[in-house]
Structures are given as C-alpha cells and as structure tokens.
Structure 1
C-alpha cells in the first residue's frame, strides 16, 4: 500500500514558529561577495596583493578569514608561521612552492586545482615557483585575526633565492 505523503496542518507544521520574524539571519544570513568587490584594505606585501572576501569587518565572520592573493613571478615570503591558525590555499593559476620545517628542509609544489594545507605553528615559506607568471590563490584561515610570527633565526637547508622585493610582513633574517 503506498504511503500517503499529504499532511494536515496539525500533523506536521513546516513553519518554524520558534524563529523570531526579526531574526538577524533573515536579512544577513547568506552573503554573496562579488569577485570584483573584494577589499584590498588588508596587510599588503610588496610582490603580493591580498584582498579580503570574508572577514569580521565585511560580513561579521567570527572564526574564519577568506580572500585572494596574487603573488608576482619569483616572489616569496620570509620564513614564518601563523600561530594556532590553520590555513588552506587553493591554487587558481600558476605554480606554488612551499618550503617548511625547522630548516625548510621539506618542499612541495602545487598547481591549478590543488589545495595546500598548512597546520598550526609550522615554519614555512611561500614561493611563486614560476618566473614568468603571477600565482593566483584563494586563501582561507581558521580565524579572523591575522597572526604572523616571523622566524629570523632559521638556518635554511638551501639558501633562499634572490628576492626582488622586501617583504615587511614576513621578514627574513
């Protein structure tokens, strides 16, 4: 015998009467941030162009930051970590190289469509591995606060490449 899916109002109420009609999410629940409306009022570094899409100032986010970063050819950061934050980098265009470890002894590369996960407290360096193309990425961090701890006393396994710009946020020793 087929099941009757019709309901009388008293059988199953689809209206959530416990939700106030003036709930804040009613008008500010889901937010769409157009790609051409990102906020460049973030920490900027020569050779890198960051734009915020999701943060506390723009949408009230409490536990996440998301945005984009464009990294000039051959540009790189100094050695640093982000404290207790977790970071995810999605490569849109170009070739990313990450070095990490106590002496930057580990290296991995990622291309378009790849995700990179950087755990808390991991000393690392982000590098655009392509000398001819801008590296374009989407960046997501597990908190709204920017935490950057520069590491200046590291003795890298491989000496850093010639840096064509000075990075005031991720300084090298």
Structure 2
C-alpha cells in the first residue's frame, strides 16, 4: 500500500496523504450518494413511462455502469428487441413485470417486488407491465453507458405491443 505513481500514498500506518491543496484524497471523488428525490428527469420522456437517471457518466463519472429508475404505465409493452453485448439487471420495486424472450418469445417469466431479473446479451425480449391497474416501478442497471438497442421486426410476439411503450434511450419506440 506504500507509494504509488498517482501522487498519493499511504504511510506505513495506513494514514492518508493529502492533495497539495490540503484536501484529503477522495473527498470529492469518492463515494457518492444520489438521493431519491435528486434523480435526473432531464431526458426524453415518452407517454407510458417516466425515466430518471441516478448513476451515469455525466452525473458521477461512471465508466462501466448506468443505473436509474423506470416507471411503466399499466398494460404497457415494448417491441421485441435486444441490447447487443450489454447485460441488464432489473429490480422490481412495485407492481408485476412479465418478461417474454426467445426467438419467437416462446418463454415467459414474471417478477414481483423484491425480485431481480437478469437479461443476458443478445437475448430477444419484450418487457410487459402485467398489471392492468398498477404502475410497474423498477430499478434498471446496465453494464455500460452505451445505449445499445436492436429492434427485431420479423417476430410475431405473443403479446402485441400496445399503443403505450416502455421507452428510454436504450428501449427505443419500435415504430
């Protein structure tokens, strides 16, 4: 732990050396707390969903992940798509999520509050709010800041996309 070429080091006792201006290292570039009421709604909004960014490059300098919240109106569905090499994790806070996936969307699973959903790279899928009378609220984490979406138009999904879609910079409108 001693020394280093970054201009900062610990001594043998583990004490932190300071910047030349007297500020401790990491004070402004260390752990960040993003309060729930300070999420960033300054993004394209679309009927049927409300998206807010919490963790991204612009807000905290994140290099390899993106995290935020997504609210999806009752009965909203996406078009069929995948996210290239990105991995996605969806945590359901409130409501009921239905995921369909596969070459013909032949597989289905549902998740409720407290459940995690993992979407691997390149898997064709469709997100659905399974409740007709309750908003679906989720936390979404992606493995990269790059917004990758590949819309698949030659699939006849079991559940047709409705007039309301789950759309954000990575879930584009299928129309």
> What is the TM-score of this pair, normalised by structure 2?
0.82
CA deviation vs aligned residue, 1:46-71 (integer Å, no higher than 9, x gap): 21111100000100101000000000
* Equivalent residue pairs, number: 159
* Residues 54 and 66 in structure 1, CA contact (< 8 A), matched pair in contact too: yes
CA 1:171–1:112 in structure 2 vs 1: closer, same or farther (change >3 Å)?
A: same
CA 1:68–1:167 in structure 2 vs 1: closer, same or farther (change >3 Å)?
A: closer
Pick the structure with greater CA Rg: 1
CA 1:45–1:124 in structure 2 vs 1: closer, same or farther (change >3 Å)?
A: farther
Alignment of 1:21-170 (within 5 A): 25-156=26-157, 158-160=158-160, 163-165=162-164, 169-170=172-173
Query: Deviation at 1:24?
Result: 6.0
- Matched residues in 1 for 2:159 and 2:97: separation? 18
- Matched residues in 2 for 1:81 and 1:75: separation? 18
Local SS of the residue matching 2:103: coil
* Residues 52 and 70 in structure 2, CA contact (< 8 A), matched pair in contact too: yes
CA 1:24–1:141 in structure 2 vs 1: closer, same or farther (change >3 Å)?
A: farther
- Matched residues in 1 for 2:120 and 2:111: separation? 16
* Residues 49 and 165 in structure 2, CA contact (< 8 A), matched pair in contact too: no
Unaligned runs of 5+ in 1: 1-11
Unaligned runs of 5+ in 2: 1-11
